[in-house]
Structure 1
């Protein structure tokens, strides 16, 4: 009888404990989340879709609108693909095709970028106007996550859906996005993305001058483009008075996910609305490789393997034939096997037995392979992060945009060396490969950094889940917003305060000067009267 009583007591205790636990642990409610990723860059889409896949795995209902078929997928994500017209895509390819052919002067390069940017903006705007895109407004969403890249007019989407928005930015915090969440631009000690730097290094006067000018020009360009974005937004709003204005929507970004980590540098002031999720596209466990690549890499155990890829935006056909010939000659003569990203498999540079050509590569999974010894890259942000995460040294071949600065960072950090792809020499390329392969200092440096990069309180995926649910739970999390968002240039730099101080000091100086003159006049007058009094007294005597 006593045993039965004890058992009942234990059962009661367990039931009470289960009830207590179930009450204290609040289940995450399923949210309807929309992803809008209009950039025609495959590498950008990989980052954005990695965020959405994380949320789908969490159990949320995910819908994604994109201009490309995603390489990252999940069975529970509803994909809506609106491809740009052939004419727009051809126009974009033509603008980028010359960049890898020959070195161009800075003015020509800037003009090409402006034309390419204009094509990219128009391409994305066409998708927002597409009839298929309009169908998303028939549904209700708790949150919109938008890929940001010169497409501010897409703020019309959360305006029409009347829900919070998060921006996904594929780079580090910079002038183009800082103002949305109020990150201060500290040009005196925070190098811009276009200013080469070494972590912890104080910029020289020349570097600070360059940083000041480049940062100012970038902010000026951003403000000029903003005029066009405001006009596009107004056009998309169709004078609907019920919608928030473009200016109001710019001040309603809940937070920005940045594909960066503070260990990469530079160290900068941050606000709660700028959340770093560096390496979100890197899998915690590598996906099995396609059989042909897996077999090729597994057969490279003795001498190792090399990955050669110039990214998703630069086509192999855009390179000079002489450059392709040099690259092939050097790579085909190596002991190592080489996986080469090459789009036209029917017209390859050659048929060397140690080279495997592939139109598309699961880059992260290849870099995770233990036999991979070297990554020859264009120094794009995504590939650079993946290589450092997996402790793979690099040879950088930068072409345009932020790639030269990334390449300089690879060299200054000791992660690899740089060669000039637009003026490539056979011996220089061969020497660079032998240097990185046989000098252990590069692999040791990147290994040490990898440990820093991985050491964080939450993984990138855990960070995404927490902050997305935080924004939804708190209906946009307006309490996190920095007051800097609502200040103009004069107010944020205290120019009005400085002017008031200068005016006050000027008035005080004028008052002091007037007082001194008045006092001097009174003293002279008093002395004059005293002298006159003495003169009269002398005459009487």
Structure 2
């Protein structure tokens, strides 16, 4: 239940709610993407279940909310929702073939995202968190989605900070001083076969992708910097915008590099908690879904079809929807289809169950599910990998094409272009995955590897949250690079001095050699002249004697 008033200090709520070992933790989860919120709220739920006193700020209504979490929702204007929907729709219908180019083309449409970040920080319910002197937080966890601007709240609260990111360390790892390693660590949507090194062409592609992402990030940061100056320009207690990240203790990444790859060096502040949203034990399914799945035969099983929370029914071309229905309605399998407009479904068929919202993780854990048709969002792919379910990917935008390509390269399924989907290829892909055991075997083998960890994702989260709190932000975890300028971190000043010394040495050597040469040349000329005079005098003397 959302907190209706912040008049009672949150510290008092904390004292009433928990024991002596509890910490006051603030989660700032304001992404407009529901899939990100699923992962972030899973983290908050785990912390609340561990008797921490958790307050969460969101823009969207959370899909799950632990009863002991203090929830503050900054209302989302209808215009904000429509603008974000239009942004997703535009990217869903734009087939650029490259995620970075797609994001760069969408930059002009991202103003609602930045406006919402600013609205959150200006909202009185958020300002109350630091304006009430009795409030105290031991830690702030920021759910990252292009919102570095909101790192400022931890500075206002004078609290250490952890960032939570729904991507691998290649994204945002440089904030912690993580090496980029462009020669062998793929950028977003660049896929390298597991165990293989990059060819020269692939390294060139990776460099271009890295530069494209750098440009995209630079544009975002410039926009955030302008908003930051407008918000805090007259506040001397606030650091420069470019110094906000120096308060980050560590980053939780939704990945598991040992199994997913690539193998790469990480600084201590990189903590991977891939699969954090997967429950140790699945919750019971809603009765209608449980009955529907139990009605599937053992030989045919069932299929889950979900294109995520951002892509709505209206974003998909009507003829594409019709083609999908024509194929799915003729399958022998039961199909659960996530569809947000239940009043206008693609069609009626006994083997299809439409649902506006689905407990995806719990459904994928069901033994009757034989295939997951997905948009290849990081969260969904992770859940399918964990439960050992083969996939058919229909990626739309962002990191989804790269996730799909990586999934295909590992042998977990196939991928098709949603914008160019045809009935025959769609049917053949579904039957090909269902009838060929290699996909099922590959993903189940990976599932065993993915689960094999010294600590589970849940245990890793709890350990490192408590560690940062115990050590008051754990500044010793930070790489020295975090506090160095770009020039110092890359030794550019040293190289400049060495080049200058080499130039000076070369110049001095050249001058010295020039002087020595002139002197030697001068002596040679004098000696030659003297020899010539002697020879001339000798000739004159000889001539006189004759």
Query: One fold, TM greater than 0.5?
Result: yes
Alignment equivalent of 2:111, drawn from 113, 118, 135: 118
Alpha carbons 1:100, 1:320 under 8 Å: kept? no
1:333-353 per-residue CA deviation (whole Å, 9 max, x = no partner) reads 111100000011121111111
Q: Is the 8 A contact 2:165 2:254 kept in 1?
A: yes
Cα gap change, 1:28/1:389 in structure 2, threshold over 3 Å: closer, same or farther?
Answer: farther
Between stretches 96-105 and 39-48, larger displacement belongs to 96-105
Question: SS at the partner of 1:255?
Answer: strand
**Are 2:309 and 1:312 aligned?**
yes
When residues 404 and 74 of structure 1 are mapped into structure 2, their CA distance, relative to the original with a 3 A threshold, is same
- What is the deviation of 1:406? 1.1
Does 2:394 match 1:394? no
1:20 maps to none
Given candidates 484, 506, 511, the residue that maps to 1:509 is 506
The 10-residue stretch of structure 1 (528-537 or 502-511) with the greater mean CA deviation from structure 2: 528-537
Which position in structure 1 is the counterpart of 2:75?
A: 83
Alpha-carbon distance in structure 2 between the residues aligned to 1:44 and 1:219: 22
Question: Aligned pair count?
Answer: 514
Mapped partners of 1:391, 1:327: distance in 2 = 24
Gaps of 5+ in 1: 1-26
Question: Which of these residues, 419, 428, 433, is aligned with residue 431 of structure 1?
Answer: 428
Q: 1:277 aligns with which of 264, 273, 278?
A: 273
Alignment of 1:82-481 (within 5 A): 82-101=74-93, 103=95, 109-110=102-103, 113-137=106-130, 138=132, 139-175=135-171, 177-237=172-232, 239-262=234-257, 263-302=259-298, 303-481=300-478
Question: How far did 1:110 drift?
Answer: 4.4
CA deviation digits over 1:416-436, x for unaligned, max 9?
011111011111001001110
Partner of 1:38 in structure 2?
30
Alignment partner, residue 63 of structure 1: 55
Task: Check conservation: 2:103, 2:398, Cα contact below 8 A.
Answer: no
Q: Which piece of structure 1 moves more, 330-339 or 27-36?
A: 27-36
Quote the offset at 1:99 in angstroms. 3.5
Q: Please say if residues 338 and 356 of structure 2, whose CA atoms lie closer than 8 Å, have aligned partners that are also in contact.
A: yes
Question: CA, structure 1 residues 489+238, in 2 after alignment: closer, same or farther (shift >3 Å)?
Answer: closer
1:4 corresponds in structure 2 to none
Q: Please identify, of 506-515 and 295-304, the stretch whose mean Cα deviation from structure 2 is larger.
A: 506-515
Cα deviation for residue 255 of structure 1 reads 0.8
Structure 1 range deviating more: 138-147 or 210-219? 210-219
Q: How far apart, CA to CA, are the structure 1 residues paired with 2:325 and 2:218? A: 44
SS in 2 for 1:197: coil
Q: 1:404 to 1:108 in 2, by over 3 A?
A: closer
Distance in 1 of aligned mates of 2:368 and 2:53: 39
Rounded Cα–Cα distance in structure 1 between residues aligned with 2:192 and 2:64: 33
Structure 2 CA distance, aligned partners of 1:434 and 1:422? Answer: 20
The offset of 1:532, in angstroms, is: 4.4
- Contact 2:188–2:209 (8 Å) recurs in 1: no
**What's the secondary structure of 1:251's corresponding residue?**
helix
Question: Can you list the C-alpha shifts for 1:148-207, whole angstroms capped at 9, x where unaligned?
Answer: 1111221221111111111111111234x2232111212121110121222222112222
Q: How far apart, in 2, do the equivalents of 1:458 and 1:510 lie?
A: 61
The answer to whether the 8 Å contact 2:57/2:72 transfers is: yes
Q: 2:161, 2:43 → 1: CA distance?
A: 14
Q: Return the alpha-carbon distance in structure 2 between the equivalents of residues 102 and 250 of structure 1.
A: 33
Worse-superposed segment, 523-532 or 346-355: 523-532
Q: How far does residue 299 in structure 1 lie from its aligned partner after superposition?
A: 1.7
> C-alpha distance in 1, partners of 2:76/2:471?
36
1:84–1:127 Cα contact (<8 Å) kept: no
> Do the aligned residues in 1 keep the contact of 2:91 with 2:106 (CA within 8 Å)?
no
| Correspondence for 1:29 among 21, 46, 53 | 21
> In structure 1, the residue corresponding to 2:124 is in which secondary structure?
coil
SS in 2 for 1:401: coil
Deviation at 1:105, TM superposition (A): 8.1
Contact 1:156–1:236 (CA<8 Å) still a contact in 2? no
- Cα distance change on mapping 1:521 and 1:479 into 2, 3 Å: same
Q: Scaled by the length of structure 2, what TM-score is found?
A: 0.90
Aligned counterpart in structure 2 of residue 521 of structure 1, from 509, 518, 523? 518
Q: 1:333 to 1:508 in 2, by over 3 A?
A: same
Which of 98-107 and 50-59 deviates more? 98-107
Residues 309, 522 of structure 1: alpha-carbon distance in 2 compared, 3 angstrom cutoff: same
| Contact 2:101/2:212 (8 A) holds in 1 | no
CA contact (8 A) 1:155 1:246 kept: no
Change (3 A) 1:256 1:298: same
User: Secondary structure at the residue paired with 1:287?
Assistant: coil
Mark the CA change 1:217 to 1:59 in structure 2 (over 3 Å): closer, same or farther: same
Distance in 2 (alpha carbons) for counterparts of 1:149 and 1:413: 27
**RMSD, aligned CA:** 2.1
Q: Is the 8 A contact 2:184 2:198 kept in 1?
A: yes
Deviation at 1:101, TM superposition (A): 4.2
Superposed CA offset, 1:311-367 (max 9, x none): 010002211111111111111111110000001112111111111100011111111
TM-score, structure 1 normalization? 0.90
Distance in 2 of aligned mates of 1:193 and 1:101: 20
Give, in angstroms, the shift of residue 266 of structure 1. 1.9
* 1:238 Cα deviation after fit: 5.7
- Inter-partner Cα distance in structure 1 for 2:481 and 2:126: 34
